[in-house]
Amino acid sequence: MVDISKLIPLKDFARPIEVMWNLSDMKLCAIESQTNSQDHALVFTRNGQYTTQPWTDWTRGFHIGSILLQSEADSSRAIRDFGRLSTMKFIQPQVTNFGVHDHGFNVTSTYGTLLRQMHENRDLHNEWERKYYRQALITSGIVQAHRWTELGQGYGYIYSFNGAHSLFADTIRSLRALAISYVLGGVIIEEQDQEYSLLERMIAHIRTTSRYLVSTSELLDGYSIPGRVAHEAIFNIESATFRCLSTQQGYSPFTTWTRGLAWIILGYAEILEFFRMLPDQIRAMYQDIEAELLTTLRCAADYYIESTPICGVPYWDTGAPGLLDLNGWSEREADPFNDKEPVDSSAAAIAAQGLLRLGEIVGDYGNKYTAAGRRTAYTILQKPYLSTDLNHQGLLLHSVYHWPRRWDQIPTGSKIAHGESVMWGDYHLRELALYIGRLMEAKPYYTFANFEWNLPDRDA
């Protein structure tokens, strides 16, 4: 169980965050100077060097998004300009990519960041660029929402790259793309000019995810425990009926792949914050979804706290068979160098931000979530998780990508993967540092939709 016995003061993060940003700057420079090909997005490190894993281009937004976050930390116009040009060159094709469920990863992390930065820093304002960013984000959300399986009665989902039958837990964070498109005035228009609301598709996706992927008070099967998250749900698209749970990257459909759990925690927290930013007349129409978001979020967060070692870094799956040989694994700090099962620090980086946001949402009753988020963040901002070796291009060590397929590097003499980084882990460590830094310095609260809105006419 994550140690929540004391609340680490925000001031204690000042030096670790400063060190992290300094290392981050040097590692991003090393990647750019040593990377010869941009044919495929960089995914993870092997022997400390970032490399590709051809699949889809789902990680490129994390790479370029990291550059843009670094520009905020350094207040560097030159770094931002490099990230801006990289966005236009490499992310523009992703704006109209109908074949993936990753718009929240690729487009929101780049074009969304550029628009937010322009809004927060008027020195960056350029009206032509602002309109360009807005149009890219409107289009991205509509394209993402078009990848839709309708189940009826208020249920439906953005389907994964596996096909129309497949709902992933990860996709909850791509709802940011729909949210941004909605507040910028986006509307889905299909046959005979029939209009569909992006907000209502978001809500349907949330309800379907909550009902079929996250175990809450209504147990899904004989192995359900509150807060358990399945990676994938399979549906019969002809009859619009649920068939079974599945997994792509977890150990089994009935155990929790911890990065999937982390996506749920952060995705639900951000979307709940978004709903609370909406005008009162719109919130009044959807009060039930806010309650559902909070219930599901707290259930998943409680499970993370209860099923993770005291340091806040989880093993890659709560049901991984080798954990049986790691006696008392949840009652001590995680051991990334064990010979039984890998840890996944990228899940910790994602979950920590979600836990901290949940603590802010709940207020005085959220102390345990704030304590858990800070404990987790403090752990991964230190050795052995923070990479201080300048010959290693990764920033956050001991992350894994796809352990069931053994895509991850196993060091000589070891039986499990450790010592390597993944692009989304590095990105989310940087985003976590930015989030905590804003809290430390009493700056505007960091949200993905912090820019000028233009709601659709019917909702304005």
Question: What pLDDT was estimated at residue 383?
Answer: 97
**Residue type, position 309, single letter:** P
- Residue pair 249/259 in contact (Cβ under 8 Å)? The answer is yes
* Residue 88: Cβ within 10 Å count: 16
Average pLDDT, whole number, for the chain?
Answer: 95
**Residue type, position 235, single letter:** F
pLDDT tens for 127-177 read: 999 999 999 999 999 999 999 999 999 999 999 999 999 999 999 999 999
Which has the higher per-residue pLDDT, 123 or 359?
359
pLDDT tens for 188-212 read: 999 999 999 999 999 999 999 999 9
- Residue pair 156/150 in contact (Cβ under 8 Å)? The answer is yes
Question: What pLDDT was estimated at residue 238?
Answer: 96
* Stretch 380-385: mean pLDDT: 98
Question: What pLDDT was estimated at residue 53?
Answer: 83
pLDDT tens for 232-267 read: 999 999 999 999 999 999 999 999 999 999 999 999
Residue 434 has pLDDT above 80, yes or no: yes
- Residue pair 253/247 in contact (Cβ under 8 Å)? The answer is yes
Question: What pLDDT was estimated at residue 35?
Answer: 62
* Residue 325 parent element (H or E): none
Residue among 426, 317, 414 at smallest CA distance from 45: 426
Residue 112 to residue 274: CA distance in whole angstroms? 14
pLDDT band (50, 70, 90) for residue 220: confident
pLDDT tens for 391-404 read: 999 999 999 999 99
Residue 415 has pLDDT above 90, yes or no: yes
Count Cβ neighbours within 10 Å for each residue of 298-310 and write b for 16 or more, e otherwise. Answer: bbbbebbbebbbb
pLDDT band (50, 70, 90) for residue 422: very high
* Stretch 306-325: mean pLDDT: 97
Question: What pLDDT was estimated at residue 457?
Answer: 67
Sign of the dihedral defined by the CA atoms of residues 329, 331, 336, 337, in that order: negative
Question: What pLDDT was estimated at residue 38?
Answer: 65
- Residue pair 104/175 in contact (Cβ under 8 Å)? The answer is yes
* Stretch 345-367: mean pLDDT: 95
Question: What pLDDT was estimated at residue 458?
Answer: 64
pLDDT tens for 80-98 read: 999 999 999 999 999 999 9
pLDDT band (50, 70, 90) for residue 24: very high
* Stretch 297-322: mean pLDDT: 98
- Its pTM stands at 0.97
Residue 56 has pLDDT above 80, yes or no: no
Question: What pLDDT was estimated at residue 364?
Answer: 83
Residue 13 to residue 179: CA distance in whole angstroms? 31
Please state, for a pLDDT cut of 70, what percent of the chain lies above it: 98
Residue 36 has pLDDT above 60, yes or no: no
Alpha helices in 237-314 (DSSP H): 258-277, 280-283, 287-306
pLDDT tens for 365-380 read: 889 999 999 999 999 9
Question: What pLDDT was estimated at residue 124?
Answer: 83
Question: What pLDDT was estimated at residue 439?
Answer: 96
Most confident of 35-44, 56-65, 343-352: 343-352
Q: List CB contacts of 288: < 8 A, sequence separation 6 or more.
A: none
Residue 412 has pLDDT above 80, yes or no: yes
Cα 202 to chain centroid, rounded:
16
Question: What pLDDT was estimated at residue 125?
Answer: 86
Residue 122 has pLDDT above 80, yes or no: no
pLDDT tens for 102-120 read: 999 999 999 999 999 999 9
